[in-house]
Structure 1
Amino acid sequence: MSSETPPLAVDIDGTLTDDQRALDPRVIPVLRHWPERVVVATGKAMPFPIALCEFLGIGRTVIAENGGVVFVEATDSLELVGDKDAADAVAAAYRDRGYDLGFGAVDLANRWRETEVVVQIDQPVAPLEALAEEHGLVVLDTGYAYHVTDPSADKGTGLDAVCAHLDREPSEFLAVGDSENDAQLFDVAGESVAVSNADATARERADRITEASYADGFLEAVAPYRE
């Protein structure tokens, strides 16, 4: 592997997975043996990327909830950005209007969230956006869910926070992702790659786009640093 291998910031769903969101086992040795820092940057709640790092056997450096939650194990630091009370108020008002978040009674998608609320992608988005605006929040469409989130937090601000703890620069990083929630990450990273299944926003903001999709695209994205 090249001595010039950069630190890596990588999304999960649609980037390390197949089209059913199952982790592709081929990415495991790549991440496990990446010689530089790996930052897992996702829209999921913090337990999911923490568990992924734990089982991969890599340092737990994560950006969760689209930048709302940042954890850096090396400095034992946790940062939260976002108005969870406002997000919960949006969810309550959405239910009061007869809509549903769409994840069932237990709702594992929201159970451990600390800064935002997510709504299933098949639920009506227009009333959700109107309610979010009333509370000073925005709705982010990741392609997998609607995230009611604070506009001041994103994966780019998350990487800034990680770098502040590690005395690194975002421009040192290679970023790989597939969705509009990766766009701000792409803006601050030194090199950004959108896998070919990426949405229009991610594709427009990326430095390059892979020919392959999903985890195949990730493997293509990092291939120049593994030869």
Structure 2
Amino acid sequence: MGEAPRLIATDIDGTLLRDDRSLSPHTADVLARISAQGTPVVLVTGRPIRWLKLVYDQLAEPLPAICANGAVVYDPVADEVLRADPLAPELLAEVARRLRAEVPDVSFAVEIVDSRQMRHEAHYPLRWDADHDAIRAVETPEELLSAPAVKLLARAADQDPDAFVALVAGALEGLAEATHSSYSGLVEISAAGVTKAAGLAWYCARLGIDARDVLAFGDMPNDVPMLTWAGRGVAVANAHHAVLAIADEVTSANSTDGVAAYLEKVFGVD
């Protein structure tokens, strides 16, 4: 990337946000000034749409978001989903069948209605929004898998996250994508070919922007496709070893405004 980037794409958790899930006022200000100069900034996240409010409340203005690891492209101004790539019910059923055979104690949840709602098995452990109105336990496996889902979530007790995602990916090879964005043993499953890179590529094509003109930031394995696709992929210092291995550059950690610090150097804002 020889010239200034034409678009900034950044992961949220562990990259843009600090460990307490807050966005520093300094980072929010840098993003606002770059946007005001005419360079689009896009959030590219594993989060569902319903988890974006926490971020938008800390920004000067809501930013376009590619959610659910690339499965949903969202315009927050119009509150409109521009594109969705869900797993069909019959595909969900086959994925679940294979994983139950491979991991007998696996439990599932699904992100449905373009990730505005979540359904989960009764024994699936909820971590964030257990009391949210959009979250509901289902009574049968058939009900869980009855609607298209932009993401299938799989958990099993006491799993090493890297080993578990490798096991799941092997079981689903050629059928679906498997990745992870946390150290809690959660595996996130999308339709085949659906990644952060694919969602971002679609959005950039819509704007007439080439991959070589994109600057991207990330920290976890679900960011690897996006960072390798972009003209310049930058890891924060706290990133997973798989991300550090493929990044073009490394900036400081999320806890010290690493994204903002890098952008200040590139755009000359301070």
Q: Give your verdict on TM over 0.5.
A: yes
Deviates more, 1:99-108 or 1:39-48: 99-108
Deviates more, 1:141-150 or 1:9-18: 141-150
Match of 2:67 among 43, 64, 83: 64
Q: Is 1:208 matched up with 2:249?
A: yes
Q: CA deviation at 1:90?
A: 5.0
- 2:150 match: secondary structure: coil
Q: Which residue of 2 aligns with 1:49?
A: 52
Q: Which residue of 2 aligns with 1:23?
A: 23
Q: CA deviation at 1:135?
A: 9.1
Distance 2:230 2:62 in 1: 20
Q: CA deviation at 1:59?
A: 5.2
Distance 2:17 2:47 in 1: 14
- 2:28 match: secondary structure: helix
> What are the superposed Cα offsets for residues 155-207 of structure 1, whole Å, 9 maximum, x if unpaired?
11111111122222232121111111111111221222100111122112211
Distance 1:159 1:193 in 2: 16
Deviates more, 1:10-19 or 1:56-65: 56-65
8 A Cα contact 2:105 2:156, kept in partner: no
Q: CA deviation at 1:84?
A: 5.1
Equivalent residues in 2 for 1:102-121 (5 A)?
A: 102-103=125-126, 106=130, 111=135, 114-119=149-154
8 A Cα contact 1:87 1:132, kept in partner: no
8 A Cα contact 1:88 1:117, kept in partner: no
Q: Which residue of 1 aligns with 2:231?
A: 190
- 1:116 match: secondary structure: strand
Distance 1:142 1:121 in 2: 16
One-letter amino acid of the structure 2 residue matched with residue 156 of structure 1: A
8 A Cα contact 1:116 1:149, kept in partner: yes
Distance 1:121 1:41 in 2: 26
Query: Alignment length, in residue pairs?
Result: 223
Q: Which residue of 2 aligns with 1:157?
A: 198
Match of 2:85 among 81, 88, 91: 81
Superposition CA RMSD, Å: 3.7
Q: Which residue of 2 aligns with 1:141?
A: 180
The structure in which a higher percent of residues are strand is 2
Stretches of structure 2 that go unaligned for 5 or more consecutive residues are 108-122, 137-147
Q: Which residue of 1 aligns with 2:116?
A: none
Stretches of structure 1 that go unaligned for 5 or more consecutive residues are none
Q: Among the aligned pairs, what percent are the same residue?
A: 25
One-letter amino acid of the structure 2 residue matched with residue 133 of structure 1: L
Cα gap change, 1:38 to 1:197, in 2 (>3 Å): same
Deviates more, 1:64-73 or 1:178-187: 64-73
Q: CA deviation at 1:73?
A: 6.1
TM-score of the aligned structures, taking structure 1 as reference length: 0.78
One-letter amino acid of the structure 2 residue matched with residue 101 of structure 1: Y
Deviates more, 1:86-95 or 1:166-175: 86-95
